[in-house]
Structure 1
């Protein structure tokens, strides 16, 4: 009986070992040292479901990037438990913690994708996770498999066995590529391993050790560009639906902006994923002396613009009606499958530039922004320079509130119209049923009368 009870455990461990073997066979070490200098082109993306069609890899390879950067959700490792009673009881926990063997299987499937294998054979890959490849939707430090998940994720990236990333609490990392005035520093933030619950307004994404590490990485760097990657959006705090972003922890968002402004880092570019559309957001600080830009690329396999008709309508209506003050232009959004790219021009005058683009499945540029290698400025006497940071477009609260009410009204009308149409259909079916019943009863009565006359 004991051996029978142990059978599921043995089978799970066997499955996990087999999948890990497949991962090891397909892995190559991350080798950014092999990149030809100076760095010219980097590609990046997020939200890639291993079970869906992955149409972007051939387009990405054709662009010949020198580096690929994962910004989170390289796979979808967590799962939904619709067959459990507690899913339908408050607080309605749909998602479940993904056990290690499930993560290993799903990473192995992604590593087995032929076109992704071709990219990995040519291009060094670095990256950081978000919630779905971490193992739990909106997950944080309470995820019970986080230590095992860390090792599995690093296996997926091909991180060497002795890497310091395997010993620390979280997968944050930095890479400096280039030298002598042509260096780019990539700073990858882990917003999962030490994340607090959102119920705590003073909660944190990073944890104190990562904050100290980040400060050292910024203040001691001489790189011409600093590319800072976060799995969730950093700058916008105007979203109608809260979702996941740094605005959920407003004190930590201010702390990050303060650190950026005080660090004297040059050429700061923020990258993020998570939201299943692409977008450019900006804040201006110290009366426009410093502008911080964030480029979001999300939705490699599924996006808002290609969702079901209702979600697509909500997305289009929201983008049409709401003011979106953090976007430099109202149209700085792209709702279909996409990936991002940075091209560095080291000969630009007076300073080197980085052109950040969002590209679609057709390989065409959908969004574009240029960042120069200049220092972020702040008033040396300001103890909290982040207080001067504002959305790049000024929108009054009455306008924002009115637009939000208008959007909710449109959604309400749509839902009301759908309910009215549904009720009309039900009413028509009931009327049709009654008439059919009456017709059949009348027909039966006539036939019965006819039989009586024949008798």
Structure 2
């Protein structure tokens, strides 16, 4: 029998809904990432919720330290265990989440900020303690294998037979190598062996593969986190998916603070792999405050100018607060359909895509991922021109910001200067008026 274990959070947030209640086929699940524990949270009412990373922001910005403003500009600081506990407690006590957690079963995996280190990897000093704290936050059963292994990866199957869904949660932090290593890895040998077994043995109609960071896009030239930072590992993952004979594979990810659909075409378009990203539950790129409006303008400019070859169409993104949803149509013919949707904070659908429960073409995968490419391929010269143009836009925006700051500083200086000399003249006048000359 499953026994939930709140551990250090015992008694906080009420009793969580049990996974054991999900015996019938899944009709509707929801997912999201990048959730700040102190902000309003757009939550829905699915049968199951999946955290895809950054359920809280455990690390912190050291804006009052000189080191932050010196190369390499380390804005974030690692979270010690007591800070993680404090911030998870805040999330569990959040009025919206407390009620949500009591009625909706929750599973999930972490990314960097709930792990405790921005862009975190296996060098994080508190990773073992962080694992226990995270599993306590999820009320992971006492006997769970997740409490015995190195990392929080896990797999769950809901439903049975032709109406089953397998959710595979990847841990891309605990055993991740630091960036910059030529043969760096995200998962580690043990997790790779486990993943291969989970995919090759799966009989589920749909296999949902969850990664904290994006898998498919290889065109992000601005240095963000994604699997392409370790190209050989990305190729290894795509190889495994293509040769596993798993049905209805959908990649799911978070991290980037906007929602997006991405695809690769493999083996001359005989196999298409799809990834849905939902990120920015409580904060996103497309903002309206004075400072954030500058970042929003950059975000919009980038989406207008750059090619985004991995998107099924150029507009397959959404920049405001969002969460994801999958509805399963088990009676669709000839195969069940997963209706993938991105919803805004008002609940309206912003992006949609249908994925059928089909097998990949096994005859086309003699050399699997070597023949995977972006769903659209732009001309190299055109792509370079677009990127240079985008750099020009960034330069103009930054130049405008710096110019505005300089003008503001000059105005303040002039006002101060005039005020200072005005006060000096006034004081001189008062002195002269009150001065009496004696012979």
Q: TM-score, normalised by structure 1?
A: 0.88
Question: Do the aligned partners of residues 156 and 368 (structure 1) sit closer, same or farther apart at CA in structure 2, a change above 3 Å counting?
Answer: same
Give the distance between the partners of 2:218 and 2:412, measured in 1 at CA: 47
Question: Do the aligned partners of residues 176 and 432 (structure 1) sit closer, same or farther apart at CA in structure 2, a change above 3 Å counting?
Answer: closer
Give the distance between the partners of 1:233 and 1:144, measured in 2 at CA: 25
Give the SS at the match of 2:283.
coil
Indicate which of 94, 99, 102 corresponds to 2:80: 99
Aligned counterpart, 1:160: 141
List aligned pairs for 1:176-255, cutoff 5 A. Answer: 176-255=157-236
Question: Do the aligned partners of residues 367 and 433 (structure 1) sit closer, same or farther apart at CA in structure 2, a change above 3 Å counting?
Answer: same
Give the distance between the partners of 2:250 and 2:239, measured in 1 at CA: 15
More displaced stretch, 71-80 vs 424-433: 424-433
| 1:301-341 deviations in Å (ceiling 9; x for gaps) | 10001261111111111111111100011111101110000
Aligned counterpart, 2:299: 315
- The reply on whether 1:50 has 2:50 as its aligned counterpart is no
Give the distance between the partners of 1:138 and 1:71, measured in 2 at CA: 15
Aligned counterpart, 1:15: none
Indicate which of 343, 351, 362 corresponds to 1:359: 343
List aligned pairs for 1:374-385, cutoff 5 A. Answer: 374-379=358-363, 382=366, 384-385=367-368
Question: Do the aligned partners of residues 378 and 440 (structure 1) sit closer, same or farther apart at CA in structure 2, a change above 3 Å counting?
Answer: same
CA contact (8 A) 1:27 1:156 kept: no
Give the distance between the partners of 2:58 and 2:356, measured in 1 at CA: 38
- The reply on whether 1:128 has 2:109 as its aligned counterpart is yes
Question: Do the aligned partners of residues 23 and 106 (structure 1) sit closer, same or farther apart at CA in structure 2, a change above 3 Å counting?
Answer: farther
- The reply on whether 1:70 has 2:55 as its aligned counterpart is no
Aligned counterpart, 2:352: 368
Aligned counterpart, 1:3: none
Question: Do the aligned partners of residues 90 and 224 (structure 1) sit closer, same or farther apart at CA in structure 2, a change above 3 Å counting?
Answer: same
CA contact (8 A) 1:23 1:111 kept: no
Question: Do the aligned partners of residues 21 and 166 (structure 1) sit closer, same or farther apart at CA in structure 2, a change above 3 Å counting?
Answer: closer
Residue 435 (structure 1) shift? 7.3
Give the SS at the match of 1:305.
coil
List aligned pairs for 1:17-28, cutoff 5 A. Answer: 21-26=8-13, 28=15
Aligned counterpart, 1:33: 20
Give the distance between the partners of 1:377 and 1:300, measured in 2 at CA: 36
CA contact (8 A) 2:12 2:92 kept: no
Give the distance between the partners of 1:447 and 1:380, measured in 2 at CA: 94
CA contact (8 A) 1:130 1:191 kept: yes
Question: Do the aligned partners of residues 445 and 83 (structure 1) sit closer, same or farther apart at CA in structure 2, a change above 3 Å counting?
Answer: closer
Aligned counterpart, 2:332: 348
Question: Do the aligned partners of residues 435 and 27 (structure 1) sit closer, same or farther apart at CA in structure 2, a change above 3 Å counting?
Answer: closer
| 1:40-97 deviations in Å (ceiling 9; x for gaps) | 100001111111222x12xx02xxx110000000011111233444434433333222
Indicate which of 355, 372, 390 corresponds to 1:389: 372
More displaced stretch, 92-101 vs 400-409: 92-101
CA contact (8 A) 1:69 1:125 kept: yes
Question: Do the aligned partners of residues 432 and 44 (structure 1) sit closer, same or farther apart at CA in structure 2, a change above 3 Å counting?
Answer: closer
More displaced stretch, 102-111 vs 244-253: 102-111
| 1:193-246 deviations in Å (ceiling 9; x for gaps) | 000000113201100100000000001111110000000000001113111110
Give the distance between the partners of 1:51 and 1:29, measured in 2 at CA: 20
Higher helix share: 1
| 1:337-364 deviations in Å (ceiling 9; x for gaps) | 1000000001111111101000011110
Give the distance between the partners of 1:388 and 1:166, measured in 2 at CA: 39
Q: TM-score, normalised by structure 2?
A: 0.91
Question: Do the aligned partners of residues 83 and 387 (structure 1) sit closer, same or farther apart at CA in structure 2, a change above 3 Å counting?
Answer: same
Indicate which of 403, 412, 437 corresponds to 2:395: 412
Aligned counterpart, 2:264: 283
Question: Do the aligned partners of residues 423 and 288 (structure 1) sit closer, same or farther apart at CA in structure 2, a change above 3 Å counting?
Answer: same
- The reply on whether 1:79 has 2:60 as its aligned counterpart is yes
| 1:398-426 deviations in Å (ceiling 9; x for gaps) | 11111111111111112223333444455
List aligned pairs for 1:112-123, cutoff 5 A. Answer: 112-123=93-104
Indicate which of 141, 147, 151 corresponds to 1:170: 151
